[in-house]
Every structure is written in C-alpha cells, then in structure tokens.
Chains A and B, each alone.
Chain A
Amino acid sequence: MNTRDEIIYIVDDEAGMQKALTRLFRAEGFEVRAFSSAQEFIDAHRAGEIACLILDVAMPGLDGIALQHFLLASGVHVPIVFLTGRGDIPMSVRAIKAGAVDFLTKPVNDTELLRAVHTALALAKSHQAEHAELSALAKRYATLTPREREVMTHVVSGQLNKQIAADLGTGEQNIKIHRGHVMSKMGVVSIADLVRAAGRLTIVKIA
C-alpha cells in the first residue's frame, strides 16, 4: 500500500469537505493533513516531503489559484490537484498551465480523485529522485580540477583527444590522463553517460 512518507495536504474552507476527504484518503492509508486556509498550509508545509495538495479554489483570503502562484514563485514543488464547486474552463486551463496535475469539480468520484492523487505523488517522487541524482552529479562535478572541467567540456562536445590537445596546447597523452580522471570522478563508464550527465548539469556547449 502506501508508504507513510507520502503526505496528502487538503486545503478547503468547508469543514464538512475537509472531514470527508480526510476520511477517504486515510481509508486508502495516506497520511492526511487538512487546513481551512492557504496560510495555514504555507505555515505547515516542509520542503523535501513527497506530498501532494488537494486545493479548493473558492476560499476566503488567499484563494486556490493565488496559492498555486505563491508556491511556484517560492520554488516549492508540490503537485496540486484542484477541487472546486464552481469551476470554469478558463480557470482550469490557467491552473493546468501553471503546472496543476488535475482540475476536478465537486462532487468528485473517489477513483478519479485517487488516480489524480497517485499521479501527483508519482510526480512528487520523481521530482525528489531527480533532485537527489542531480545533487550527486553536482557533488561529483565539484571534485573536478579546472583543467579536467575544460577537458570534459571538449569531450562531451564530441572532439577527439588529438583535437583537444591541439586546442588546449598540450600533449595527447596528457588529455588521455585527464579524460580518465574525469570519467572516474563523474562515476561514468561511457562517453554517452558523460554527455547525459553534462546535459543535466547544463554544461553542454551547443555547437
């Protein structure tokens, strides 16, 4: 079933709705945290969690769409599933464009809601994994010497050792040594892997 480290946040001003949704998700084994206003959610949320947000649109104070924008601007990556009593198409389009996972209207069917929640959590998970991989790569890249970084840049742009040696004004043998260090320090076994790592680190020079 679901693991305890996946959290479902609910923000809805209607107490009855909070209660019903909480019951539904708990029955599915999720950890649920329900709030009646956007502000309460902002205060309670912690970064690094695998979580999704079930968000009501029409609320007193900060409404759902405003909260979505606030989170984007703050760099908080929480997949959002909107749930609204009165939704219109322009509003749903805007919400989806801004990265919402889904835009559902009340009353909502449980399977539909749970599917959206799973999608959202998967997204959150992949976000988290990607984040972890990227930070590992960055750590490796930080161990390279400046010369090794230069060599790596030339390698991933597809140059032969001879060409690199000519460009950097050194011997081909030296380049081979540097290249070996780069491969081992970046933890890759093939040039293709090195290119992929460089792409994720956005250091690929587009020829």
Chain B
Amino acid sequence: MNWVTVIWSMSVAMSLTLGAIHFVGWCQDRKAWANLLFAIMAVSVAAFAGFEIALLQAQTAAQYAILHQWGHVPLFFTFVSLIGFILCYFRSGRAGLAWTVIGLRVVVLVINFTFGPTFNFRAITGIRPFQFLGGTVSVPVAVPSPWAPLGAGSGLLLLVFVVDASIHLWRRGRANERRRAVVVGGGVALFISASVVNGVLIHTGVLHAPHFISLYFVLIVVGMGYELSRDMIHAGKMAEELRENAEGMSLAAGAAQLALWRWDIAPDVLWVSPNGRQLYGIPPGEVISLQRFLDTLHPDDREGTRKAVMGSLEGEGAFLSEYRAVLPDGAVRWIGAQGKVEFDGQRQPLRMRGVSADITDRKRIENEVAEQLRFEILLADLSARFVNVPAEELDDQIEEAQRQVCECLQVDLASLFQWSAEDPSFTRTHFFRLSEGPPLPMKIDAGEHLPWARQQLQAGQTVVFSSLDELPPEAARDKEHFRFLGIKSGVGIPLSAGGEPLVGGLTFNAIREDRVWPEEIVKRLHLVAQVFANALARKRSEQALQESQERLSLATDAAGVGLWIMTLSTGQLWVTRNIRELFQFSPEEALTYERFFDAIYPEDRETVRHGVAASIDSGMPLNLEYRLALPDGSARWVNSQGRPHRNGSGEADRLMGVTVDVSARKFAEMEAAQHRTELAHLTRVTTLSELSGSLAHELNQPLAIILSNAQAAQRLLVQSPPDVAEVRDILTDIVSEDRRAGEVITRLRALLKRGETTLVPMKLNEVIAEALHLTTPDLIGRGITVARELAGGLPQVSGDSVQLQQVLLNLILNAADAMAANAPGTRRLHISTARENDVLRVSVRDVGGGLPANSEKLFEPFFTTKSHGLGMGLAICRSIIQAHHGRLWAEPDPERGAVFHFEIPVLEPTST
C-alpha cells in the first residue's frame, strides 16, 4: 500500500458514495435530473480514477496502452454528464458550446479507438518506473500523439462553457444561485484548468510526474456533491419542518374545524383529512380525484371551482374559493377553501395543499345581512319614490315596486287587493309574480273563500303563515282556497292610510315551498303597505279634488262665471279655465297678482289696485268693473266681485271671488246711451200700448152713461107732463160724465203725442202745473200733501213739454213711492222752481228714505230700488234733460229724504 493506492482508492470510493447518494435521491424524485447526472458523473469519475490506478501500476506497454485507450470512455461520460449537470443545475449555459465540447470528445474517442495505440500516444515503447508519493508507479515511454492539443482544446472549451454558465447564473442575482455559481462553477473551472495545466506541464516535461487528472475530477465531484448535498439536506430539513408544521396544522385545523387536504397533481390524487371527508360527505377509504371532488359540489358551482383550481395552477399558486357542497342527504353546505400550489424546479405544479372550512353559517348570515341591506335600500328608495309619484303613474309604480320586493326577497307572488262597501269581494288591482303560472283570479269572493283572512284584514290584523298547517282551525275554508290557488305560505297586511277606513290588503305568497316570514321582514312589508296605502289614498283624494275642480269649472263655465283665489302672502292666483280664456292667459301659465294686473287696461289699473287694497284692509266685499287690454288688441269689460278670507288669527290671507265678462252688457249700455231718446219714446209707446185697453174703458164708461142718460131724457121729455126735475138731474150727470171723458182724452192725447224731441219756447211752470194736475188725484189717494213754490216771472225755456212732463211725472211719482213707508200725515212733496243765472232749476223734494251712497247709480239703466219697475225711468229722464242741454242730479236733503234737481238753460239769457 502506498499513498497512490490510498488516495486513488479513496477517490473512487468517495465518488461512488456521492454518486450512490444522489442516485438514490434521484430515485426518490425522478424529476431531480441534476442528481442523476451528478450520480453518472460521479460513477464516471470513479471509473476513470480506477483506470488511472491501473495505469499507474501497469507492467507492460501493451497493458498500459489498452488501459489508457479505455480510460477515455469514462472520461467522455464525465464530460457529458458534467455538461448535462451544469445545464440542468444552473439552468444556464450555451448549448452551442456544450455540443461543441461533446463533439470534440466524440472525435477524441473516435481517434482514440481508430489510431493506435491511444489518443494521446502515437506509440508506447515501454514502461518505466517512477518515484511518486513515496512509491513506485509506472509511467509510459511513448511518442505523444499529434492530436493531443485536441484533448486540451476540449478541456478549455469545457472551461469556457462552465465559466459562461456560472457568469449567467451569477447575473441572475439570487443569493444561493450566486453561491452555487462560485462553488460549483468556480470549482469546476479551477479544477479543469488545473488538470489542463497539469497535463501540459507533464507533456512538456516541465513536471516530472505521472499523468493523472482523475483527482481533479474527484475534487470537482466533491465540490458539486457538497453543493448538491446542501440542497438535499435543506430539502430534508424543510420536509421535517413541514411535517412538524403539518402536524401542528392538523391539530390547529382540527381545533378550528378546518379540513386539510392535499392534491397531488400528476397522479390526480386528493388526500383529505377525515373531518374533510365528513365535510364533503365522502366516505372514508374512497379514492378522491379532482373530478370526484367537483362532483360533490352544487352543479352551479362546479365550473367556477374548476376554473379557480386551474387558475391557481397557472398563476401564483394561490387558490381561494367558496362553493356549495351537496351532501348525499341533499343538504347544501357552504364551504370556503384556501390552498397553495407547490411547484417543482421547473415551475411545474407538483401538488396543492390547503384547508377547507364549513362557512354555511357565515354565508347564511352574510346572505341575510345582504338581503336585509338590499331590502332596506329598496324600502328607502320606494318611500322616496312614492312621495312624488303622479297619480297616472301610480299603478305602474306599484307593480314595479312589487316586482322589486319579490325579487329582493325571492317572494313568488305579490298582490294588492282592494274592496269597498259596495263590492266586498277582493279585487286584485296590482300584482307581480316571479314565475309564470296559471292565470290568477282577479276577483275573489272573500266572504265565500277567504272568510277568516278577510275578517282578519278588515279588523286591521296582519295575517302570517309559514305553511298551511299553521292556519288556525277556523281558517279551514281559507286553507282550502289557498291550496286551490297553490299558495304554500303568505303574509297579508291590511292597507289603511291616515285612519281612513280599510280599503285593501297587500299580500305576499310563497308558491314553490313553505317560507318563514321573520318578524323583521313582516315589519318592513308593513312599511311597503303603508307606502302603497298612502299613495293610493293620495291618488283618490287627488282624483276627488280634480273631479270637484272639474265639476266646479263646469258649473262656473255653465254660469259664465269664473272663480279665482288669490293667496295674499305669495301673490299667487288660482283661476278657473274660463278666466284663463277670458284674460287670454295660457293654460299652463303660473299666475300671480302682477300678471293679472298687467292684463288690465292701463287707465283702470289704479282703480283696481285701490279697490283690492281697500277690500283687504276693510274686509268689505270687492266689486270692481274694469277693462282688459288683451294681447290680441281687443278690449273686454269684466266685473269682479269677491271678499277677503281671514285665517285663524283674523288676518286676511286670501281673496276669493268671481269674475264675469260684462262686455255685452257694457256695450249695450253704450249703445243705449246713444239711443236714449229713442228708448224714451219706446218706453212711452210701450206704456201706451199697455194702457190702451184701460184707457178705452175709461173713455167708454162715461160715454155709455151719457148716451143712456140722454136717451132717457128724450123719452121723459115726450111724456106729458115731462118730468123736468129728473131731466135736470140727468143733464147734471151728463155734464159730469162728459168732463170725466174729457179728462181721459186729455191725458190720452198727451201720452199719445209723438216722442220726437221738438224744442219750442215754453213756460216751465205750466208744464209743472199740468204734471201736478195729472198726478194730484193719485197723490191725494196716497195721502201725500203737495207744496208748490213756483217762482214767478220766469223766462221761457226751449223744451219739449211732453218729455219734460215725463221727467216731472217720474220725479213726482218716485218721490211719492219714496214716502210710501212714511206714517200718514208725514208724506210731503215739495216742488219748486228758481232761476240760477242763465238756467232755471226745478227741484222735487221728498221726505222719504233718502238716497243710496252713490246717488249716481240711480241714473244707471236697470238700477232700481223698487220691487217692480224696469229701472229705466231716471236714466231716460237724465237723457231727456241732457237733450235739453241741461243736467239732472240727486242729492240727499239736509233734513230728511232726497232732492232731485234739473236745470234747463233759459231761452234768452239776456232778457228777464
């Protein structure tokens, strides 16, 4: 035994040992190709080292040549496996270089076995002993082969490959990879260069030593083995830690009711902890594949879960999913799973480990909270929305709201029933159902089919039943009908708004299955019912209001009267349609007092403003007549009457009243004024025609008496002796009757006179005397005493005696009428004439009831204070006096009663 034997043997053993270890490692992990390549290399190095021992102890040249030739084979494998190892372990290195090196070594092998005796030597002439490491070893006496540089070149190229690969690895910058680059790359490079240098030195004879390179390779193997073993030891440690962790995890998982699982991807085997099997309802012992696992899930969740699994394999390796498992008994369980994928060195997913937990309770709470939240939001939205729903959209909105409630709560059917005193059966006015179904009855004879439910709802009670079995015995008929309708459970809430009588009910029904109605939900449904009830009540009152307004409008339209209400605080004005038409306001325009004011004829505005203000201040009724200046240029006369309305504190807050178009009357008045004279004539003629019958009778009567008396006298006179006394009496009567007839005729003549105004010089006092003569009997009959105070020596006036007499008769008879209520003995009429400069004034004074506040009204046509009469008298009188270029007016008597004056210009102002 010498050192050479010891060293080389140890090298072989060491290489073999390392190779064996890593071969075993590869066997455990077939994908650990680096370990396999290392093992091959280690074995190759060991073989090569064995050849070298044999060479060092070779006895003949031939023996040496054969050993040397075959020693190239392990050397070749060493090269190839080294390159493979670097490529595999570093995951870097240039493939071109690698193949070049391998190619060179193949060439070396070919030369080695083609030309003799070996690649390195052209001829081996002998063996000579050589002292080395305290022993004698054999060295060849040989002629070096000219190919030798090729071998050295391959070694240098290998060096370049390794250095390049190491630099690449270093540049990746990870700590353990850098170390790997330094230790493995650096070592390989160092020992390859050393071996090359060593070979060159020996060949050139500089170094006197036997040719050996196996030791360098052994050192390479040791370096590489160290590094590789480090990895293995690390992996082992990790495995240990993992195991400990896993045990800890298992404990923790058990405590936290977590199920553990591991899915080995390539064999598609899923290991699941026992509590996991319980969780998924998989019997113990059954082999679980991914598909088997997925089959336990709810059909809706299978595809999603599969995608989540596959996604985690492709991405960062994190798996997180929630899905429903359907247990063999049909129960559904929510499960949350979390896992992590383990990858191999090639980033290939190896397995996935993770935990699963039963999250059914959490999901249920989450769902309930979410549902409640959605419902709360819906309720808030409904309440807000229904505040302003226009009446015509209400029906649609209610059904839309029913749809939302049904979808939110997953209720199958929502219905709104209404009933009334006239029709006590339930009428389904609004409904929504989630799924199609047989036609719903729109009318239910509740008294017949739902007596109990009806009684409950009409008593204001809410009806709730989760299933038909919950219904009380007295609801047997209801139950029967619910079954007939396919209803399994339901809620019925009475509808009432603001204490109004109950007019309906809101119901929600489950049809597919029984359903529990938690109190919270029922409370919320009460809110929905309240919202609907309020909206329906509002719609009803709006309709009623609209109807009443329409009726009012119709009524006022029919009467030709427009209504208006002015709110004093805002100046806003509400008017009926016909006022809008009259004032030519647009139908939709918002009206204010100012807008109204603008429509008034400018000259009349101040009067109206003053009148309105006065009415508000005094609280007195308003009565105004004014003109409108309309946009189309036309003018209308309107009359507005109204009165202020006081609020609780006595302040006027509104002014309301009516407005009438009086244009026709006003225009007629104007026309009348133009034809006043004609009217006066007409009035007289009318009076005449009325009087003609009685006038004829009046005249006939005395004539008949006269005739009969005269004929009686004739007969008496032919008797002998004639009754002279009787004849005298007869003649007296005849004269009397004749006078009577004459008076009638005189009166008639005056009245029959044509009505044209013919002004002639005349004495006013005479006209007065005549008028008094005509009226005296009448006045005496009424117990009226007449006082005349006629001024003497008055000048003549230019006048029409008939018309002036008409005026006087009117004034005298009016005065008599005014005193009709006076006590007998206090009826006194005073008539006087006087000259005032160039006019004569006639005054008729009474002691009657006096004048109205505005005495000018007396002279308006159709104004009358009498229960009978046209109210035309004074209007005509005034027009007659005006035709005489005079004036007629009234004033209150300072003491009592009234005085009517008229003045007519004297004919000759200068004369007396």
Contacts and interface: CB of A to CB of B under 8 A. Distances in A.
- What class of interface size applies to chain A in its complex with B? 10 to 19
Nearest to A85: B700
Contacts of A14: 701, 705
B697 interface: yes
A24 B708 contact: yes
A23 B716 contact: yes
A20 B737 CA distance: 11
Contacts of A133: none
B700 A17 contact: no
B711 A16 contact: no
A86 B737 contact: no
B733 A107 contact: no
Contacts of B716: 23, 27
B719 A21 contact: no
Contacts of A24: 708, 711-712, 715
Nearest to A21: B708
Nearest to A83: B704
- What class of interface size applies to chain B in its complex with A? 20 to 34
Interface in A19-37: 19-21, 23-24, 26-28
A106 interface: yes
Interface string A70-88: 0000000000000001100
A17 B696 contact: no
A85 B705 CA distance: 11
B719 to A, nearest CB: 7
Contact of B712 (A20, A86, A107, A108): A20
A20 B709 contact: yes
A193 interface: no
A108 B707 CA distance: 7
Contacts of B719: 27
A49 interface: no
A167 interface: no
Interface string B727-740: 00010010011000
Contact of A16 (B693, B697, B702, B726): B702
Given A16-B737, A20-B709, A28 B715 contact: yes
A110 interface: yes
Contacts of A28: 715
Interface string B497-519: 00000000000000000000000
B697 A27 contact: no
Contacts of B696: 86
Nearest to B693: A86
A23 B697 contact: no
A10 to B, nearest CB: 11
Contacts of B705: 14, 16-17, 19-20
A110 B730 CA distance: 15
B706 interface: yes
B712 A85 contact: no
A16 B733 contact: yes
Contacts of B714: 110
B712 A23 contact: yes
A54 to B, nearest CB: 11
B209 interface: no
A16 B700 CA distance: 12
B704 A17 contact: yes
Given A14-B701, A19-B733, A107-B703, A27 B712 contact: yes
A63 to B, nearest CB: 14
Given A17-B708, A24-B712, A106 B726 contact: no
Contacts of A85: 697, 700-701, 704
B700 A86 contact: yes
Contacts of B713: 23
B701 A110 contact: no
Nearest to B727: A23
Interface string A163-184: 0000000000000000000000
Interface in A104-149: 106-110
Contact of A23 (B701, B709, B736): B709
A23 B733 CA distance: 12
A26 B704 CA distance: 18
A28 B712 CA distance: 9
A28 B711 CA distance: 11
Nearest to A17: B705
B721 to A, nearest CB: 13
Contacts of B704: 17, 20, 85, 106-108
Nearest to A58: B697
Which of A19, A24, A110 gathers the greatest number of chain B CB atoms within 10 Å?
A: A24
A26 B730 CA distance: 13
Nearest to B700: A85
Given A27-B715, A28-B715, A20 B708 contact: yes
A87 to B, nearest CB: 11
Nearest to A106: B704
A5 to B, nearest CB: 21
Nearest to B714: A110
Contacts of A27: 712, 715-716, 719
Contacts of B709: 19-20, 23
Contacts of A23: 708-709, 712-713, 716, 726, 730
Contacts of B730: 20, 23
Interface in B668-718: 693, 696-697, 700-709, 711-716
A106 B693 contact: no
A107 B707 contact: yes
Contacts of B702: 16
A106 B715 contact: no
Interface string B550-589: 0000000000000000000000000000000000000000
A43 B726 CA distance: 29
Interface string A91-113: 00000000000000011111000
A117 to B, nearest CB: 13
Contacts of A107: 700, 703-704, 706-708
A109 B714 CA distance: 12
A75 B700 CA distance: 34
Contacts of A108: 704, 707-708
Interface in A39-90: 85-86
Contacts of B701: 14, 16-17, 85, 106
Contacts of A19: 705, 709, 733
Nearest to A22: B712
Contacts of A17: 701, 704-705, 708
A85 B704 CA distance: 8
A19 B716 CA distance: 14
Nearest to A16: B705
B820 to A, nearest CB: 24
A16 B735 CA distance: 12
Given A20-B733, A23-B716, A110 B708 contact: yes
A32 to B, nearest CB: 11
Contacts of B733: 16, 19-20
Which of B696, B702, B711, B716 gathers the greatest number of chain A CB atoms within 10 Å?
A: B711
Contacts of A16: 701-702, 705, 733, 736-737
A27 B711 CA distance: 10
A111 B693 CA distance: 28
22 contacts: A14-B705, A16-B705, A17-B701, A17-B704, A17-B705, A19-B705, A20-B707, A20-B708, A20-B712, A20-B730, A20-B733, A23-B708, A23-B713, A23-B716, A24-B712, A26-B712, A85-B697, A85-B704, A106-B700, A107-B703, A107-B706, A110-B714
Nearest 8 CB-CB pairings of A with B: A106-B704, A20-B708, A23-B712, A27-B715, A110-B711, A107-B704, A107-B707, A24-B712
Given A27-B719, A86-B693, 9 more contacts: A17-B704, A19-B705, A20-B730, A23-B716, A27-B715, A85-B697, A86-B696, A107-B703, A110-B711
